Amino acid sequence: MSLLKAVGVIVLDGGAPLLQPLSLHLDPGEPLVILGETGSGKSLLAQALMGTLPPELTARGRVAIADRVLDTGSPDRFRGLWGREIGVLPQEPWLSLDPLMRARAQVAETHALVRGLPRGEAAARAQADLAALGLAGAERRYPHELSGGMAQRVAIAAARAGGGRIVIADEPTKGLEAGRRDDVASLLLSEMGDTGGLLVITHDLALARRPGGRLIVLRSGAVVEQGPSRQVFAAPQDAYTREFLAADPENWSARTPRAGTEPAVVSARDLAVSRGGRSLFAGISLRIAPGRIFGVTGPSGCGKSSLGDALLGLIPPDRGTVTRRPGDHPHAMQKLYQDPVAAFPRKRSIGQTLADTVSVSGGNSADVDGLLDRLGLDPTLLGRRPGAVSGGDLQRLSLLRVLLRSPSFVFADEPTSRLDPITQARVIRLLTEIAEKDGVALMLVSHDAALIRNTADTVLSLDAAGTAAISEPATFGTPVAEALT
């Protein structure tokens, strides 16, 4: 007996189908993972199953949950299921908790208002729920006093307190550090137990692999492959699935590191940086030669980005010196930002923004056309505003803008953390190619250690305490970088 059975669910934008007819069922104790890149329609599927599609989209198809059969075309009827049958683990759990309410109250209100328990009993149940998730002692804290992982556990307790047996998690690792992905998967599995249902929607391969159960791979709104998770991961049948799995940085073939004997484009000696009065790191010395990739990795808040900003001169170091290659124009030092949407003016077309860059750098518009071609971008993108361009295309357009200044050093700050694996692999490949062919010194920062390990010539690992470790092949005659701590 399935907990949830969906038959022939489709999503339409006017007349255009965004999601092809899809059927699925959720059985007790067997997780179902929907894997797909951005724009594959996986979130639309979740929204159709919950009745939360934006009003301009319409859905068709039937969903049977508990003893009810609902039509996805009339989403209002789904509201009664929320909390009572379906618990949703929200994206970005921090933002999903009321900032002015203590942790226990956010769970207790579901017990009281959804299940109708008296206040005292609701509070006691909430206390027990939180304790069961290892949150004893945190019940009186406000959300801003919780870590991301704790907030997520509070959120799942609140979502499930209404008694729903089915948990839907739509990109539950968004906004969390890579190191927390396994915790999220364990949390979801233990919440499911033997009798609950679990639907996980993600583009994160590490998360998709963990729960086991069954897997559906979506692409452009259509199912390309489905089956037992273990089997699909071990022996993918479809070419697209294979490409997707290969795009996991863990599975990349490592680039052969190259030593750098030429004079460094940028170098630092005994660098120390602090932010907000807290020392991030001290005693870092490094040099980056033309055409070399200097990778930096570490947990969030360890000072990865601040190191790059200090090299660019965007923040002053506490101690130490940064030296640039003599003769380089100041504009030859460029930065590629993490969130491309925020890096473009919102209300201007991308073409206009790029034309501005061309005019201040004294180039001509043919430069843009040449680069569009080189980066594999469609010229019609220039007419759009940043909000109407996919993340991967926009990040390549940011790269195009950086290249218009003929950089000698590029600091790429988590350039792919908001992209799905396939797009990420494409953008990193482009960056590598540009470093090698144009002789650009590239500093690549990512929280993903595998990505850095398989891409960079030299790797600097920072940890939260500010300790730095350098690794590079011993065959290099001249060290490309060194750490003095």
Partner 1 sequence: MNAVVSRLVQAIMVALLIGTATFVMMRSLPGDAAWRIAAGRYGYDHVDAAAADAVRAELGLDGPALPALLQWMGDLAWLDFGNSLVSGQPVMDEIAHQLGASLSLAVVAILLSLLIGPPLGILAGLRPGGVLDRMLLVASTGLKAVPQFLMALVLIVFIAVQMRWLPAAGHGEIWHFILPSLTLALGLAAVNARIARDAMARIADMPFWRFAQWKGLSERQTLFRHGLRNVSVPLFTYLGLQFVTLVEGVIIVESVFGWPGIGHALVHAIFSRDVPMVQGTALVLGLGFVLVNATIDLAVRRIDPRVTA
Residues that bind partner 1 (CB under 8 A): 50, 52, 79, 82-84, 87-88, 90-92, 95-101, 109-110, 113-114, 142, 144-145, 155, 158-159, 161-162, 164
Nearer of residues 79 and 331 to partner 1, judged by Cβ: 79
Closest separation in Å from C-beta 115 to partner 1: 9
Nearer of residues 103 and 268 to partner 1, judged by Cβ: 103
Angle between helices 181-192 and 148-160 (to 10 degrees): 20
Nearer of residues 78 and 281 to partner 1, judged by Cβ: 78
The single-letter code of the amino acid at 432 is: T
In angstroms, the Cα distances linking 157 to 62, 106, 131, 300 are 29, 9, 10, 26
Closest separation in Å from C-beta 480 to partner 1: 43
Closest separation in Å from C-beta 424 to partner 1: 25
Closest separation in Å from C-beta 102 to partner 1: 9
Nearer of residues 164 and 290 to partner 1, judged by Cβ: 164
Bridge partners, 13 (sequence order): 16, 57
Strand 4-13's sheet: what is its strand order?
A: 16-26, 4-13, 57-65, 68-71
Bridge partners, 148 (sequence order): none
- The answer to whether the CB of 4 falls within 8 A of the CB of 63 is yes
- The answer to whether the CB of 39 falls within 8 A of the CB of 391 is no
- Between CA 169 and CA 70 the distance in angstroms is 21
- The answer to whether the CB of 427 falls within 8 A of the CB of 419 is yes
Nearer of residues 159 and 273 to partner 1, judged by Cβ: 159
Closest separation in Å from C-beta 176 to partner 1: 14
Determine what percent of the chain falls in helix, strand and coil, rounding each to the nearest 5: 40, 25, 35
Quick one: which H or E segment has residue 356?
helix 350-361
- Between CA 456 and CA 444 the distance in angstroms is 8
Nearer of residues 92 and 243 to partner 1, judged by Cβ: 92
- Between CA 385 and CA 383 the distance in angstroms is 7
Nearer of residues 75 and 257 to partner 1, judged by Cβ: 75
- The answer to whether the CB of 267 falls within 8 A of the CB of 451 is no
What are the φ/ψ torsions at residue 226 (nearest 5 degrees)? -150, 155
Hey, is 231 helix, strand or coil?
A: helix
Closest separation in Å from C-beta 67 to partner 1: 18
The residue count for the chain? 485
Closest separation in Å from C-beta 71 to partner 1: 20
Nearer of residues 162 and 260 to partner 1, judged by Cβ: 162
Closest separation in Å from C-beta 52 to partner 1: 8
- Between CA 391 and CA 175 the distance in angstroms is 16
Closest separation in Å from C-beta 431 to partner 1: 32
In angstroms, the Cα distances linking 320 to 268, 316, 324 are 7, 10, 14
Quick one: which H or E segment has residue 240?
helix 239-246
Nearer of residues 145 and 262 to partner 1, judged by Cβ: 145
- The answer to whether the CB of 107 falls within 8 A of the CB of 130 is yes
Nearer of residues 196 and 415 to partner 1, judged by Cβ: 196
Nearer of residues 92 and 339 to partner 1, judged by Cβ: 92
Q: For residue 122, what are the contacts with CB-CB under 8 A and spacing of at least 6? A: 108, 109, 111, 112, 115
- The answer to whether the CB of 9 falls within 8 A of the CB of 50 is no
Nearer of residues 82 and 240 to partner 1, judged by Cβ: 82
Closest separation in Å from C-beta 425 to partner 1: 30
Bridge partners, 222 (sequence order): 219
The single-letter code of the amino acid at 53 is: L
Closest separation in Å from C-beta 79 to partner 1: 8
Closest separation in Å from C-beta 201 to partner 1: 15
